[in-house]
A and B are shown apart, each in its own frame.
Chain A
Amino acid sequence: MNKIPDNRAWWLVLPVFILVAFSALIPLMTVVNYSVQDIFGPNSAYFVGTDWFREVLQNENLQASLGRQFVFSAAVLLIEIPLGIGVALMMPTSGRRGSLCLILLAIPLLIPWNVVGTIWQIFGRGDIGLFGWALNEIGINYNYTGNTGDAWATVLLMDVWHWTPLVALLCYSGLRAIPEAFYQAAEIDRASRWAIFRYIQLPRLKSVLVIAVLLRFMDSFMIYTEPFVLTGGGPGSSTTFLSQTLTTMAIGQFDIGRAAAFSLVYFLIVLLVSWLFFTAITHLDKEK
């Protein structure tokens, strides 16, 4: 649609601008301000320049946390995107069973994140949880609070349970938008099931998949509440991700300068990776 040039449109955008400036720009400036100072009390702060940034980038604790975060987000994307597409392809296309499926799938998305943690905390326990109990019964020694591998598996399984429905619902709505004529044409050509997926469904899913990949990357990269409730970041610090490291630093240890510098680095990484994903995908689009 061609748009009309008209600067008066700013009046319509102004409320959003003011609101977001208030709730994002002011706090962000505060963070920037802290990140270049060493603060001992309300009246004793002095300028330290880029010291905090240098320290944050060299801090082994943070590097380890960042590494875990990347592994986690990569695993989340690799599991949830294909699984979500698969689920969407299997869903009934219409009628009562279709809408029932939609509602049931959407349930995990509407559960508060701390409750998601609680659900899996209970479900995975060997003594009172069905999942943990069943695994131990069939002879698998499973204990998510003591064993690092089990903790990782549980956190990942929880995230898959929690967020795959979002990918599935996005893809499902993308699939619904494909005209019936495309499938009829494929049938006349005796296209295989794979060919239909590869040349009809997948290309039409591209726009929703961009959204799904970006949303899943951003949200998995910022994950805090669910693993915090489930494992508390343990055992040791094996499931402590970036947001938890940051929160402990800022609220727990009140290490404001370092936390602020870390915050900015964190935010920049999210922006950068999101931008890379976005340009990579749109670039692929142009080449074709």
Chain B
Amino acid sequence: MKMNKRKGFGISIYIVFVLLPIYWLLIMSFKTNQEILGALTLWPQNFTLANYAVIFTDPSWYNGYINSMIYVSMNVVITLLVALPAAYAFSRYKFVGDKHLFFWLLSNRMAPPAVFLLPFFQLYSSIGLFDTHIAVALAHCLFNVPLAVWILEGFISGVPREYDEMAYIDGYSFPKFFIKIFIPMIRSGIGVTAFFAFMFSWVELLLARTLTSVEAQPIGAIMTRTVGASGIDWGVLAAAGVLTIVPGLLVIWFVRNHVATGFALGRV
């Protein structure tokens, strides 16, 4: 019992450490700039929603969120569509070059995005995809697809092959078996994979910023606008920051029951 109390104390301290910077951002977004730059206050004295109003009334602000959501969703869909069959193949079959291919895929997760900046910029410009959502979605596949194949392979290997064989005996064709029986069986794995793909695409900025200019500009790039000639507009910057945390919170809420198994990436 004494042990548990000490544990509870330790974890509480850690959670305070995690939440304190976020708390500071949150209350800052409800302050006026005068109050922010004035004396330090732990709670907004003149509670204001003006900072949020700036963002929600200006299309060039809120379009940033929409752009980010669009390319992230595209990326999650593309990632799952290509990674599912591949993960199944890696889990179930032996084929020429399978191990090499698997390691080559994973090696792409180790490629620093900075390495690919310039070639990506030129590649997407030359095929007319520069400043489109699909360009960012495809670029993010560089690190999301290898990770997705790897996570899904773990989950699929946890499903005994007898299920596959039984479906064939029952006369299911492969596509029908895959869609009707197999995908529902590994749906928690798919949820977890989608969560990770969302996460890594949502937080990335370097590639997203380089591949866009106006039409598909992510919110992260738009946030730099708060730095003006008269200094930084801290209130709006804080509000914009708070709003980038919301989608992540919604997503984690949806997968909360699978987080514990999910973070083992299907491999425990």
Residues of A near any B CB (own CB < 8 A): 1, 3-10, 12-13, 15-17, 19-20, 22-24, 26-28, 30-31, 34, 86-87, 89-92, 99, 101-115, 118-120, 122-123, 127-131, 133, 161, 165-166, 169-170, 172-174, 176-177, 193, 207-208, 211, 218, 221-222, 224-225, 242-244, 246-247, 250-251, 256, 259-260, 263-264, 266-267, 270-271, 274
CA gap between A34 and B117 in the complex, in Å: 13
Complex interface: chain A residues within 8 A of B181 (CB) = none
The smallest beta-carbon distance between B191 and chain A, in angstroms, is 14
Q: Are B11 and A101 in contact (CB under 8 A)?
A: yes
Complex interface: chain A residues within 8 A of B252 (CB) = 103, 106-107, 110
The smallest beta-carbon distance between A225 and chain B, in angstroms, is 5
The smallest beta-carbon distance between A104 and chain B, in angstroms, is 5
Q: Are B157 and A1 in contact (CB under 8 A)?
A: yes
Q: Are B256 and A118 in contact (CB under 8 A)?
A: no
Q: Are A222 and B245 in contact (CB under 8 A)?
A: no
Q: Are B264 and A174 in contact (CB under 8 A)?
A: yes
25 contacts across the A-B interface (CB closer than 8 A): A9-B92, A9-B95, A15-B82, A22-B138, A28-B111, A28-B116, A30-B118, A30-B123, A31-B119, A102-B256, A103-B249, A103-B259, A107-B18, A111-B245, A113-B204, A120-B21, A174-B268, A243-B114, A244-B114, A251-B117, A256-B118, A267-B110, A267-B111, A267-B115, A274-B110
User: Does B262 reach chain A (CB closer than 8 Å)?
Assistant: yes
Q: Are B206 and A110 in contact (CB under 8 A)?
A: no
Complex interface: chain B residues within 8 A of A19 (CB) = 78, 82, 138, 141, 145
The listed residue (B94, B112, B249) touching A110 by CB distance below 8 A is B249
Residues of B near any A CB (own CB < 8 A): 3, 7-8, 10-11, 14-15, 17-22, 24-25, 28, 36-37, 40, 42, 78, 81-83, 85-86, 88-96, 98, 101, 105, 107-120, 122-123, 138-139, 141-142, 145-146, 149, 157, 161, 199, 202-206, 210, 219-220, 223, 234, 237-238, 241, 244-245, 247-249, 251-253, 256-257, 259-265, 267-268
Q: A20-B105, A208-B268, A251-B118 are in contact. Are A108 and B112 (CB under 8 A)?
A: no
CB closest residue in chain B, given A3: B94
Q: Are B115 and A31 in contact (CB under 8 A)?
A: yes
CA gap between A265 and B149 in the complex, in Å: 27
Q: A5-B95, A110-B203 are in contact. Are A177 and B264 (CB under 8 A)?
A: yes
Q: Are A115 and B260 in contact (CB under 8 A)?
A: no
